[in-house]
């Protein structure tokens, strides 16, 4: 007997199937499952099912004061089964964050900020004494299933007078810790984008990839994507959306799209203020913005499931396969108008919404907020 059977699961290609789940794992995928189950969920003809959505750039440690939120309010309530906190905490306070994260229904992982207190102030990398490689290594060893990467914010307001040095230290720390994924925030110069990209390697993540700043990937005069960004993409640098309050620009995203540069992963950089007041609101809204740019729904779903799972080595998440975690998002496509706004105030009209209606995490089902 299965713990749960999901009936009439449907993908975009119209294929329907059943899923048998036991102890939080996918045990069987078949056109029809007749085996008994303790619980059954049947999708309606209007509903689709994907692997659970992953938001790989959030800020969700509620005890912080600058950037914070609550995992379940941005996760399970919004159709997101897994969130990855992007450097809110450092070696001094990540253990406290871990204790809070264990209480959430949503799967929570963390990128460890190379600054030991994380983002308690905007300039966490202005004092190089806060970068303690030994402390970083110790916490990674203590919390190997929670810390899945590193985070360095490389913009003028963060690094102060230190330029590119914090990133050089981050790369050294990365090499000393099993080449963990490194996410790098790009913002206003200095340091210059050229210097940042010169240090990044295949598998490193550049977040805020479509920001509208002069130090971003768009050459303001020619309105073309900078050659250094094209070369970075070609050599395997991962482009992550990281929408945030100030880091997603429709025109940059569209220009990149038409020049063959697409984001690899779609994330929100969500925290309580840009969730409640916009322009982020939730992952679904960010996904809708990429649909408006020109991405297909199929590739959008891939960029919030399979791709982030692979980037961060979440080996049992991101795909609907036997043996994988029973994490799913059930959603509908609704043909209704909706106004979307980017981080620089540009408004666009969308005629189709993606609406998560049910979140399934480890085989347990939760209704999404309407």
The average pLDDT across 81-96 equals: 98
Instruction: Report whether 59 belongs to an annotated binding site.
Output: yes
pLDDT tens per residue across span 257-306: 999 999 999 999 999 999 999 999 999 999 999 999 999 999 999 999 99
Token pair, residue 229, equals 């960004």
Task: Please list the residues that pair with 366 across neighbouring strands.
Answer: 359
pLDDT tens per residue across span 185-226: 999 999 999 999 999 999 999 999 999 999 999 999 999 999
φ and ψ at 313, to 5 degrees? 60, 40
The average pLDDT across 109-138 equals: 97
CATH class of segment(s) 2-50+322-367: mainly beta
Say what the pTM is: 0.98
Q: Cα–Cα distance between 84 and 170 in angstroms, integer? A: 19
Instruction: Report whether 313 belongs to an annotated binding site.
Output: no
Average pLDDT, the chain: 97
Instruction: Report whether 243 belongs to an annotated binding site.
Output: no
Q: What is the pLDDT of residue 219?
A: 96
Q: With a cut of 80, say whether residue 370 has pLDDT above it.
A: no
Spatial contact of 67 and 59, defined as CB atoms under 8 Å apart = yes
φ and ψ at 337, to 5 degrees? -70, 150
- 2-50+322-367 and 52-312 in the same fold: no
The domain spans of the chain are 2-50+322-367, 52-312
The average pLDDT across 336-346 equals: 98
Q: What is the pLDDT of residue 14?
A: 87
Instruction: Report whether 208 belongs to an annotated binding site.
Output: yes
**Terminal Cα distance for the chain, rounded:** 33
Instruction: Report whether 57 belongs to an annotated binding site.
Output: yes
Instruction: Report whether 269 belongs to an annotated binding site.
Output: yes
Residue indicated by tokens 């063959």: 260
pLDDT tens per residue across span 43-77: 999 999 999 999 999 999 999 999 999 999 999 99
φ and ψ at 182, to 5 degrees? -120, 120
CATH class of segment(s) 52-312: alpha beta
Output the DSSP codes for 35-87.
S-EEEEEE--TTEEEEEPEEEEEE---TT-SSS---HHHHTGGGTEEEEEEES
Residue percentage of the chain with pLDDT more than 70: 100
């Amino acid at each position: 007997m299965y713990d749960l059977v999901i009936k009439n699961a449907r993908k975009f290609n119209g294929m329907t199937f059943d899923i048998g789940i036991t102890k939080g794992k996918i045990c069987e995928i078949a056109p029809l499952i007749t085996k008994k189950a303790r619980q059954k969920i049947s999708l309606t003809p209007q509903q689709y099912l994907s692997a659970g959505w992953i938001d790989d750039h959030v800020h969700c440690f509620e005890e912080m004061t600058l950037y914070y939120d609550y995992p379940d309010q941005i996760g399970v309530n919004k159709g997101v089964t897994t969130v990855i906190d992007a450097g809110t905490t450092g070696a001094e306070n990540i253990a406290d964050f871990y204790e809070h994260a264990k209480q959430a229904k949503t799967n929570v992982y963390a990128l460890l900020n190379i600054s030991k207190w994380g983002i308690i102030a905007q300039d966490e990398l202005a004092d190089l004494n806060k970068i303690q490689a030994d402390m970083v290594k110790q916490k990674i060893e203590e919390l190997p299933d929670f810390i899945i990467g590193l985070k360095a914010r490389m913009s003028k307001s963060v690094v102060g007078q230190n330029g590119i040095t914090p990133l050089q230290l981050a790369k050294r720390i990365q090499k000393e810790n099993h080449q963990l994924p490194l996410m790098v925030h790009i913002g206003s110069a200095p340091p210059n984008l050229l210097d940042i990209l010169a240090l990044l390697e295949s598998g490193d993540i550049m977040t805020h990839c479509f920001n509208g700043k002069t130090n971003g990937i768009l050459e303001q005069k020619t309105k073309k994507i900078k050659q250094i960004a094209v070369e970075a993409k070609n050599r395997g640098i991962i482009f992550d959306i990281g929408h945030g309050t100030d880091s997603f620009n429709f025109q940059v995203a569209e220009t990149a799209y038409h020049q063959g540069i697409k984001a690899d992963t779609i994330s929100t950089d969500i925290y309580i203020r840009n969730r409640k007041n916009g322009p982020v609101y939730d992952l679904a809204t960010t996904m809708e913005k990429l649909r408006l740019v020109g991405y297909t729904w199929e590739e959008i779903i891939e960029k919030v499931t399979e791709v982030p799972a692979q980037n961060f080595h979440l080996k049992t998440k991101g795909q609907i396969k036997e043996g994988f975690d029973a994490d799913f998002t059930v959603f509908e496509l609704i043909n209704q108008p909706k106004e979307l706004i980017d981080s620089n105030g540009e408004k666009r009209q969308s005629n189709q919404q993606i609406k998560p209606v049910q979140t399934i995490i480890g085989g347990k089902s939760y209704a999404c907020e309407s």
